[in-house]
Structure 1
Amino acid sequence: MSRTTRSRMTSTGFGLAMTLAMTPYVQAQEWTLNIPAQPLAQALQTLGQQTNLQIIYSPESIQNLRSSALNGRYQEDDSLGALLKGTGIRHQRDGNTVTLLAPATGNAMELAPTSINGQRLGATTEGSNSYTTGAVTIGKGEHSLKETPQSVTVITRKMLDDQNLNTIEQVMEKTPGITVYDSPMGGKYFYSRGFRMTGQYQYDGVPLDIGSSYVQADAFSSDMAIYDRVEVLRGAAGMMKGAGGTAGGVNFVRKRGQDTPHTQLSLSAGTWDNYRGQVDTGGPLNDAGTIRGRAVVTQQTRQYFYDVGERRDQIYYGALDFDLSDYTTLGLGMAYEDIDATPCWGGLPRYADGSDLKLSRSTCLNTAWNNQRSKRATYFGDLKHEFNDNWALKVAGVYSKNTQDMEYAFPSGSVPVGATSSSTLMIGSIFDYDQVDYGLDAYVDGKFNAFGQEHELIVGANASRSHKDDFFAVALLPQTQNVLNPNHHLPQPDESFYLPNATRGGPVDMRIKQYGAYSMARLKLADPLTFVLGSRVSWYKSETDSVSFWRGEGTPISSEAKETGQVTPFAALLFDINDNLTVYTSYADIFTPQGNYKTITGSTLKPLIGQSYELGIKGEWFDGRLNSSFNLFRTIQKDEAQDDPACPDSTCSLNSGKVRAQGFEAEVSGEVIDRLQLLAGYTYTQTKVLEDADVSQDGVSYNSYVPRHLLRVWGDYALSGPLERVTVGAGVNAQSGNYRVSPTSNNNVTQAGFAVWNGRIGYRIDDTWSVALNGNNLFDKRYYATVGTEGFGNFYGEPRNFVMSVKADF
């Protein structure tokens, strides 16, 4: 028996002129549908999600039947007939309830019917054909966006597919409110509301400690092929894990075993020899459908717009879901990823005064023997048990092992103003890195009645451990690089060269343990008023043992950071103006241990504290198919470790820093009008140093390379009539100027504001095959995606490029 799905709706919402978009639904004489030919059960599920129908049927009676494809506008009474054409199945309709009839007798189907309630989207976004979702799980349990008193953006499966977002870096570049910053040492950092995301990452709701400060940027190479959606929270996320930064958190939600058989083949080819192939298949593995499976295999090889860069990815994923009973489900999964790349790290330098060298965008100053080899194996498991209609238990665990071996060289040094040739020192490095992470999360979520109202309570605990064991060495190479005429074939040193000549390096063994207990109550004070109160108590310990090498001489170093019983509260108040709009205000805080820093007296520093305040309005429109939001935010971060000017050898610190970020955000996601899916977000962020050990820094921008204005827009429109097989997409990433102050010369390295336009056109050939052409940076805007210093760290954005993709659904 197929499992009954009940969905709850999400929403983000500001209600600016939304009544204009309501008209097509209020007068709903027709439906706009986009349902490919597929197994009938899956097509009925999709029809329910795209309409307001509740469909009742017997799974056994439609087994092995396939639907016809629907694409365009259909009269309400004609849509089911068109979908069921050729199957022999008939139907009866009573209002919004439809009962399917067996072909032989015309009697209503029996045998434990499945009910599809199509009025709401669910948390799972795959197959919804939507840029929004019915529920988010990043904050424990499932709640609509309108019920979530913090800012959350969900990048759905349709958004991932429409824009060919295959890596987490690409996802974050398209997410409203997120700034992506290239790390000179490889990978990318993510910034939200002026602060860098550190440590606040979840896999299926399980928090993990991913990466130390110099590895974290490259820790999220995971391919998006294995995920259903990515949930991004902006603001302090102390309830998620405890220790972390004030920027926010990310939850990666994986694909699961499917109720109905379905296979998708996809091939793509793009600029710079970018080739990708993928097989995604799944379905029930027994007659009862109580065991469901999923398998994804992805291969990609590509070069880049710059010299010498190339990369090969292999991704393998498998998942099984078991219905142990009508109330208990066990899910298991495994993902393996293998990356072999020749990266171009370090970026480009500038002139000594910070001005642009205006080098060709194809310029890479690295050597051709640069190499990165990364392997990651991740294992997932979760168990969900429903005690009754109101109370449920979920236990989930994740284990991940990552190994990385790297060897690279890049130049570091500015170019004299007006020079026609410039020899710059080359920094070489070897890096051998192993990390094991595992986490466990368990909570009970339930509803209860008291004082004439229904309330909700979540009580749980989680724990995570991380062990990082690495060896690295950094040394100046004997050769120099001519920045204006680079040589990619400089001699590759033997590994024995590094330690005797290392200016930095050595073995590092780091162990992090974190665990805590949390609870959250959603108390209905009155019909329109909900008070949310939560708290987490955390225990944290990190231990680091290392040997710091300087030209062959090693110095053992040990440090420890520990926090016991650290409390991070959360509070919010929500007021329902009407069925569509909710006003809310919330407070959250978080801490970052700093016990590895010592004061002048030898005592450890207090943890850094981050506090987030938010006031906003959220909306849920058209049965949750459109969400909108507007909020004002302010984040205070204080007690940051800074050098103590009274310390004679600059080896001691003090808690003295205090900074502020504030601004506002607006976002719309979902179907704004008939046939148009949209994700659009605007963010205004202002950062300021309030207190600093160096008083000359008071009042300056805390993070000048986070742009003050940030716009992310992407829309996809399905044409109708003779062009009903065609979809057209377009979008823009725009931002105001940003800059970085050089730490050595105080020169500003700047990038003026820019806008990058992207587009897509898709065509459905028949019920099985479809093609699409994506174009990125259509007007070939020349810009720096990341600004660094005069010496290195400046990265160009991608020039104009195209990707052609072909898909087949069976």
Structure 2
Amino acid sequence: MPAPRRTLAACVAMALALAAPAASVLAGESGVPAATELDAVLVVAQRASRASTGATNLDLEIKETPQSISVVTAEQMHLFGADSVNEALRLATGVQVDEWETNRTSYSSRGFDILNTQIDGVGMPNSWGIATGAFDTAGYEKVEVIRGANGLLTGVGNAAGTINYVRKRPTNARQGNVGISRGTWDTTRVELDYSTPFTADATWAGRVVAAHEDGDSWLRANSNQRDFVYGVVDGQVGANGTLALGWSYQRAKSDGIMWGALLFANNDGTQAQWPTSATTTQDWTWWNTTNHTAFVEYTHRLGDAWQLKAAYNYRRATGDDRMFYAYEGADGLDPETGLGLYGYPWGGADASTAHLGSLVLDGRFQWLGREHELVLGASVSRSDADGWEYPADPASPAWGALPAFPYPTDAIPEPAWGERTLYSVLDQRLKRVFGATRIALTDRFKAILGANFAEYRRSGDLAGTAFDQTTRHTSPYAGFTFDFSDQVLGYVSYSDLYQPQDQVDADDRYLDPSKGVNYEAGVKASWLDDRLLATMAVFRADQKNLATPVGVNDLGTYIYAGVDVESRGVELEATGRINDHLDVVVGYTALELDGLDGLDGDDTYPWVPRRSANLLLAGRVPGYEAFSWGVGGRWQGRIFNGTVSQDSHAVLNAYAAWDFLPNATVRINAGNIGDEKYINTLRYGAGYYGAPRNYTLSLDWRF
């Protein structure tokens, strides 16, 4: 649509105009930056050695961390065409991406929902663990998935893990990339990524990233448009300080959206089969979202071994929607006539604002002749969310019995909408104090000990019922690592689990927090001169009072009860470079879930696959490195929910690329090359089919 395109173009033009003078000043007659001896400059050295704090808040390598961690890099996302977070997380080991509607997704690991997400290591618990809309990946350097308990990271958490999105930052030298692609369903994408120093010694630099994508879908009537802009500046303040400031904006517009999904359970006990393009939506439905984020970080070096970091993060998300829901009546869906579905229109709007401030001190100290590490921190966060409803005309044909399914997407006219009314108010506050230390007991035996105190308060009003709850909890963490050799490390870890819950029981009361324990043990081994890292982990988590759907009320809303669930399993992953021409990521998860209170054995969360595997191979042709290729895919075992099931299946993707110029590449991506027909998820007993075979042709130009 014209307005968003003009907005994006204006932002890109402004960014290039600001960056161009700086680039011309930096480039001398030789055309190279004038900066010399960059390692002597604090901020430049930090850019070159930027690392994540992983699962413990300590600055540890992945191999040294006593938990399982997978990383999806910006290069992998780019090569395999993972332009959204959902696509990126499908590249990670042990993560299940459940797209149960076209605009809402849940992520899970080790059988449980991932309820905590971070950006650059800071974040708040995500209510329900639901991601609304498709978030663009253009602004991220990498996506980390830390599987297992995560209390040290967020103060509250379950046994699933944490997703940490790591933003792109300015580079030490000027670089840029422009890409354009065209794919199946008339999907077009344009992307810009430009970074440049502002000063001769590169102590100040900036980066701008922008992307625009729009196109149709394999689902009837569905189309999507997304605009994304991100800018960041960082630099050195005095001899010991660094400052970073950034802002991002995303506007996503979706038409012909599905609220709810296809129903597959016929009233005679059989499972319905629909065309891959089938949808329950109507042409007049839409869901638009806007997201703003901003951050400020200041880091001050205290001598050679210590630093103090202060950060503030701001998030603002708004949404507006007109939706249509199709559900089964009391007589169920008749496979002969296609009748039995009823309609439910909805108009809504929502807005949420979050503020988070943190202060972290970390460093190294000497004790008993050995070097140890310590981190101490505190954070305060607050988020406010409001929800509104536009009531649909009760006389509209959008209510009540629907035509035989699959019906046309213009079968039911849009209802008239009433005045906006407020139906929910939610205020969340989280205060936490944490500390962790890594003690070198011997040269090869290390202990990681930590604790986190969190105070969580939730207040507001839900459908006329006021609430105000405050909970406090201290979570301990312990991990031990032992270097069997320079290449092989063994580890064990224990963590307490504590997770406030957003689900309500039959009386509309929030469930009490879920509590439990998490154990993990494993071996990490580096091979091929440290180019390849292999991990084998066994885990077990016992969670009590975990919110689980046990029925629906008269309005069709799920009722939840707290049950005890045990998860245990094995994970294997190998990631790295086999040789100069071949990179690999291969992972496998075997999982068992047992319901210890009200759920029956293997039927506990049956929509979670008990076996899953992923593979990424990417390489260049020896002797002609201008040509590169890649193959990736995921396999999962059978899932079911009630009488509906999805057999085990694999979805394979591939790409081939040619550097036809030193700074230009043409690439073709093929998705679902086997044209597998499969249901995305059966989390709520319904779902829709994944994308069939599709292609994208891309051109990238580097400057």
Q: Taking every aligned residue pair, what percent have the same amino acid on both sides?
A: 25
Mapped pair 1:167 → 2:84: yes
Match in the other structure for 2:434: 518
Q: For the structure 1 residues 369 and 168, does the alpha-carbon distance in structure 2 shift closer, same or farther, using more than 3 Å as the test?
A: same
Match in the other structure for 2:277: 362
CA distance in 2, matches of 1:529, 1:624: 20
Match in the other structure for 2:9: none
Mapped pair 1:192 → 2:106: no
Contact 2:537 2:570 in 1 (8 A): yes
Match in the other structure for 1:480: 402
Deviation at 1:788, TM superposition (A): 5.3
Q: For the structure 1 residues 595 and 778, does the alpha-carbon distance in structure 2 shift closer, same or farther, using more than 3 Å as the test?
A: closer
Deviation at 1:654, TM superposition (A): 11
Deviation at 1:486, TM superposition (A): 2.9
Q: For the structure 1 residues 113 and 197, does the alpha-carbon distance in structure 2 shift closer, same or farther, using more than 3 Å as the test?
A: closer
Q: Which moved more, 1:589-598 or 1:326-335?
A: 589-598
Number of corresponding residues: 660
Q: How does 1:217-256 map to 2 (within 5 A)?
A: 217-219=130-132, 221-256=134-169
Amino acid at match of 2:441: L
Q: How does 1:420-459 map to 2 (within 5 A)?
A: 420-422=337-339, 424-459=341-376
Q: For the structure 1 residues 643 and 679, does the alpha-carbon distance in structure 2 shift closer, same or farther, using more than 3 Å as the test?
A: closer
Match in the other structure for 1:276: 189
Deviation at 1:139, TM superposition (A): 3.5
SS state at 1:567 partner: strand
What whole-Å deviation, never above 9, does each CA across 1:727-764 have from its counterpart, x for those lacking one? 110122101101112xxxxxx21000001111110100
SS state at 1:289 partner: coil
Match in the other structure for 1:392: 307
Q: How does 1:487-526 map to 2 (within 5 A)?
A: 487-496=409-418, 507-526=423-442
Mapped pair 1:706 → 2:608: yes
Q: How does 1:582-593 map to 2 (within 5 A)?
A: 582-593=489-500
What whole-Å deviation, never above 9, does each CA across 1:316-350 have from its counterpart, x for those lacking one? 11110011134311000000111111123322112
What whole-Å deviation, never above 9, does each CA across 1:441-462 have from its counterpart, x for those lacking one? 2211111111121111111111
SS state at 1:225 partner: coil
CA distance in 2, matches of 1:110, 1:170: 39
SS state at 1:728 partner: strand
Match in the other structure for 1:80: none
Q: For the structure 1 residues 411 and 669, does the alpha-carbon distance in structure 2 shift closer, same or farther, using more than 3 Å as the test?
A: same
CA distance in 1, matches of 2:376, 2:418: 54
2:566 to 660, 670, 676: 660
Amino acid at match of 1:233: I
Mapped pair 1:753 → 2:648: yes
SS state at 2:441 partner: strand
2:209 to 291, 296, 318: 296
Contact 2:119 2:164 in 1 (8 A): yes
CA distance in 1, matches of 2:218, 2:327: 22
Amino acid at match of 1:562: T
Match in the other structure for 2:20: none
Match in the other structure for 2:467: 559
Mapped pair 1:258 → 2:171: yes
SS state at 1:160 partner: helix
Match in the other structure for 2:582: 676
CA distance in 2, matches of 1:227, 1:643: 35
1:578 to 460, 485, 489: 485
Q: For the structure 1 residues 774 and 413, does the alpha-carbon distance in structure 2 shift closer, same or farther, using more than 3 Å as the test?
A: same
What whole-Å deviation, never above 9, does each CA across 1:252-291 have from its counterpart, x for those lacking one? 1111122111110000110011100011111101223221
Q: How does 1:173-188 map to 2 (within 5 A)?
A: 173-184=90-101, 186-188=103-105
Contact 1:123 1:136 in 2 (8 A): no
Contact 1:208 1:438 in 2 (8 A): no
Deviation at 1:122, TM superposition (A): 9.7
Q: For the structure 1 residues 347 and 122, does the alpha-carbon distance in structure 2 shift closer, same or farther, using more than 3 Å as the test?
A: farther
CA distance in 1, matches of 2:180, 2:517: 46
Match in the other structure for 1:348: 262
Amino acid at match of 1:157: A
TM-score, with structure 2 as normaliser: 0.88
Q: For the structure 1 residues 787 and 447, does the alpha-carbon distance in structure 2 shift closer, same or farther, using more than 3 Å as the test?
A: same
Contact 2:140 2:166 in 1 (8 A): yes
What whole-Å deviation, never above 9, does each CA across 1:385-438 have from its counterpart, x for those lacking one? 222221112222210101100011131127645414325211111111000012
SS state at 1:239 partner: helix
Amino acid at match of 2:610: R
Q: Which moved more, 1:798-807 or 1:391-400?
A: 391-400
Contact 2:592 2:602 in 1 (8 A): no
Amino acid at match of 1:496: G
CA distance in 2, matches of 1:359, 1:494: 31
Structure 2 segments unaligned to the other structure (5+ residues): 1-25, 393-397, 552-558
Match in the other structure for 1:89: none
Bigger relative contact order, structure 1 or 2 (CA pairs below 8 A, ≥6 apart) = 1
Contact 1:606 1:639 in 2 (8 A): yes
CA distance in 2, matches of 1:596, 1:766: 55
Match in the other structure for 2:476: 569
Structure 1 segments unaligned to the other structure (5+ residues): 1-58, 67-108, 126-132, 500-505, 549-555, 646-652, 742-747
1:307 to 205, 220, 237: 220
Match in the other structure for 1:34: none
Mapped pair 1:532 → 2:471: no
Q: Which moved more, 1:278-287 or 1:534-543?
A: 278-287
Mapped pair 1:323 → 2:209: no
TM-score, with structure 1 as normaliser: 0.77
Contact 2:53 2:60 in 1 (8 A): yes
Q: For the structure 1 residues 644 and 209, does the alpha-carbon distance in structure 2 shift closer, same or farther, using more than 3 Å as the test?
A: closer
Amino acid at match of 1:165: A
What whole-Å deviation, never above 9, does each CA across 1:364-404 have from its counterpart, x for those lacking one? 22000111111111101111122222111222221010110
Amino acid at match of 1:65: V
Match in the other structure for 1:719: 621
Contact 2:47 2:172 in 1 (8 A): no
CA distance in 1, matches of 2:486, 2:260: 52
CA distance in 1, matches of 2:222, 2:621: 39
Contact 1:636 1:661 in 2 (8 A): yes
Q: For the structure 1 residues 688 and 124, does the alpha-carbon distance in structure 2 shift closer, same or farther, using more than 3 Å as the test?
A: farther
What whole-Å deviation, never above 9, does each CA across 1:79-115 have from its counterpart, x for those lacking one? xxxxxxxxxxxxxxxxxxxxxxxxxxxxxx9964648
Q: For the structure 1 residues 643 and 382, does the alpha-carbon distance in structure 2 shift closer, same or farther, using more than 3 Å as the test?
A: closer
SS state at 2:673 partner: coil
1:799 to 670, 692, 698: 692
Q: For the structure 1 residues 221 and 809, does the alpha-carbon distance in structure 2 shift closer, same or farther, using more than 3 Å as the test?
A: same
Deviation at 1:782, TM superposition (A): 0.9
Amino acid at match of 2:275: S
CA distance in 2, matches of 1:252, 1:603: 33
SS state at 2:130 partner: helix
SS state at 2:328 partner: coil
1:730 to 617, 623, 631: 631
Match in the other structure for 1:541: 457
Contact 1:667 1:682 in 2 (8 A): yes
CA distance in 2, matches of 1:769, 1:112: 30
SS state at 2:383 partner: strand
Match in the other structure for 2:673: 778
Deviation at 1:583, TM superposition (A): 0.2
CA distance in 1, matches of 2:650, 2:420: 43
Deviation at 1:354, TM superposition (A): 5.2
